């Protein structure tokens, strides 16, 4: 049990080295009422050795005296303003009611007579003229100097009543996942909407809530924006999401700013960032490959015209795009094109058998020549293996 001076900032003063709860300091500050033992307040009708006991500490000599302690519970002592007694709650009448102890006579007097439930968490005004407590789900007011019964306090809420709709949604799978660079946050598609979540607490937060489908979700390399394809409004466009509070993690936000980046009847898909975060690539229509500035999606331009949707990837320095697509004879080759448009795309593999899937991920060889070499080695290996079709090399 300790006391804290509210007028001066200093460390708390320990009164005695043992446990105590519900302390109440007398008006003169020299005595303290407190509780030891006691069952949980919501346990009705308990009688036994664990029942709460009321003790009093004399701060002048440090002695303690037990004032109330029997087989019935005694809780929440409150000093009377004159210091000649105190109020407390006890269940000795069968229910928790308010009682009064007078120091001069040593007698206890029952002051409330509730037959069911409990008097809980009483508080007394500074002048001692009003005691307020909870009974069931209401607050009551009682005046000690009168013979009146406790009066229920009517509490009214001024304002329009809110009737917020409750939506119960059960989702058992997620697809099209994207992580931030540090791996601490993840975005995914579930139920056709975009969600974000941290990888530790795993508390998902919904970013979009539309009747249409979202897909192809991807974080920008800096993790500050989230890009995805949405069918919002009846057409598939590229969208960007920003958290309302950028100083917080994505999953800590409750609101997000959604912006439509493209707005045309052509279908966008396969959004992907360059490693340096400067460029955004995506497929439009049947298979045209487009590039745009990663900051806002401006300066969009077509770099590859195709009738079939390509698989593509950026070189580590972001200056080249490598992709595979079918030609008019449905043969797939690996192609490269500079992102600045300084030359036309050129066929890197040039083989009558299918060469597909440019390598992706952090294990790519560094630099343009490394990327080209890796593509050539993969393509070469694929051609040798596929040439006979029976596993011979």
Which CATH number covers residue 46? 2.120.10.30
Report the run of H or E that residue 105 belongs to, with start and end: none
Phi, psi torsion values for 319, nearest 5 degrees: -95, -15
Q: Kindly state whether residue 336 falls inside one of the protein's structural domains.
A: no
| Among candidate residues 254, 195, 192, 253, the one with its CA nearest the CA of residue 219 | 195
What pLDDT is attached to residue 70? 78
What's the pLDDT tens digit per position in 89-111? 998 888 899 999 999 898 999 99
Is the per-residue pLDDT at 374 higher than 90?
no
Structure tokens at 19: 């446990």
Q: Given the DSSP bridges, would you call strands 332-338 and 346-347 parallel, antiparallel or unpaired?
A: antiparallel
327-343 per-position pLDDT tens digit: 878 888 888 888 888 88
Query: Mean pLDDT in the chain?
Result: 83
Give dist(CA 362, CA 351) in Å, integer.
27
Residue 319 domain flag = no
Mean pLDDT calculated for residue range 297-326? 84
Evaluate if residue 345 carries a pLDDT over 90. Answer: no
Q: How far apart are CA 295 and CA 39, in angstroms?
A: 62
Between CA 358 and CA 301 the distance in angstroms is 22
- Report, as an integer, the average pLDDT of 112-125: 90
Q: Report whether 348 contacts 379 (CB < 8 A).
A: yes
109 part of a folded domain? yes
Residue 72 per-residue DSSP state: B
Look at residue 388 and tell me whether its pLDDT is greater than 60.
no
Evaluate whether residue 124 is within a structural domain: yes
Judged against a pLDDT cut of 70, whether residue 301 lies above it is answered with yes
Burial call 336-356: b when 16+ CB within 10 Å, e when fewer? bbbbeeeeebeebbebebbbb
| Per-residue pLDDT band at 38 (split at 50, 70, 90) | confident
Domain that holds residue 10: 2-152
Overall pTM surpassing 0.75 (yes/no): no
- Show Cβ contacts of residue 291 under 8 Å, excluding neighbours closer than 6 positions: 279, 280, 281, 300, 301, 303, 321, 339
What is the structure's pLDDT at 364? 44
Residue 16 lies in a domain: yes
Q: Is residue 82 part of a domain?
A: yes
CA distances 360 to 104, 158, 288, 313, Å, are: 88, 60, 20, 7
pLDDT of residue 381: 39
Q: What total of structural domains would you count in the chain?
A: 1
Q: What is the pLDDT of residues 260-295, one digit of tens each?
A: 999 988 999 888 898 888 888 899 988 898 888 877
In a domain, residue 144? The reply is: yes
Q: Is 385 helix (H, G, I), strand (E, B) or coil?
A: helix
- Rounded-to-10 torsion of CA 315, 321, 323, 329: -150
**By three-state DSSP, how is residue 291 classified?**
strand
Q: Is residue 87 part of a domain?
A: yes
What DSSP designation does 11 have? P
Helix (H, G, I), strand (E, B), or coil: what is residue 27? coil
């Amino acid at each position: 049990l300790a006391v804290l001076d509210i007028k001066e900032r200093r460390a708390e003063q320990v009164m005695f080295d043992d446990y105590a709860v519900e302390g109440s300091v007398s008006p003169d500050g020299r005595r303290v009422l407190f509780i030891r033992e006691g069952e949980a307040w919501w346990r009705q009708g308990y009688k036994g050795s664990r029942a709460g006991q009321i003790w009093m500490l004399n701060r002048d000599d440090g002695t303690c005296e037990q004032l109330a302690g029997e087989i019935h519970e005694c809780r929440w002592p409150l000093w009377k303003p004159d210091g000649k007694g105190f109020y407390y709650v006890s269940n000795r009448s069968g229910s928790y009611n308010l009682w009064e102890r007078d120091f001069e006579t040593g007698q206890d007097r029952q002051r409330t007579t509730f037959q069911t439930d409990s008097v809980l968490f009483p508080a007394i005004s500074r002048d001692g003229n009003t005691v307020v407590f909870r009974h069931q789900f209401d607050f009551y007011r009682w005046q000690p100097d009168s013979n009146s019964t406790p009066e229920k306090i009517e509490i009214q809420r001024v304002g329009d009543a809110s009737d917020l709709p409750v939506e119960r949604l059960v989702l058992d799978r997620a697809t099209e996942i994207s992580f931030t660079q540090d791996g601490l946050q993840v975005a995914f598609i579930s139920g056709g909407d975009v969600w974000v979540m941290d990888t530790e607490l795993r508390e998902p937060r919904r970013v979009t809530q539309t009747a249409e489908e979202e897909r192809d979700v991807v974080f920008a390399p800096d993790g500050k924006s989230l890009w995805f394809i949405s069918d919002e409004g009846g057409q598939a466009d590229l969208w960007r999401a920003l958290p309302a509070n950028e100083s917080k993690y994505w999953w800590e936000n409750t609101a997000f700013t959604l912006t439509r980046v493209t707005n045309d009847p052509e279908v966008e898909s396969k959004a992907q960032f360059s490693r340096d975060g400067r460029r955004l690539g995506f497929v439009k229509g049947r298979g045209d490959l487009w590039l745009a500035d990663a900051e806002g999606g401006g300066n969009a331009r077509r770099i590859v015209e195709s009738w079939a949707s390509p698989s593509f990837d950026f070189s580590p320095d972001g200056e080249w795009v490598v992709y595979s697509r079918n030609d008019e004879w449905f043969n797939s080759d690996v192609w490269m094109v500079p992102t600045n448009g300084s030359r036309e795309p050129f066929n890197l593999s040039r083989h009558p058998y299918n060469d597909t899937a440019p390598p992706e991920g952090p294990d790519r060889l560094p630099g343009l020549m490394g990327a080209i070499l890796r593509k050539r080695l993969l393509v070469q290996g694929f051609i040798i293996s596929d040439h006979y079709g029976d596993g011979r090399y």
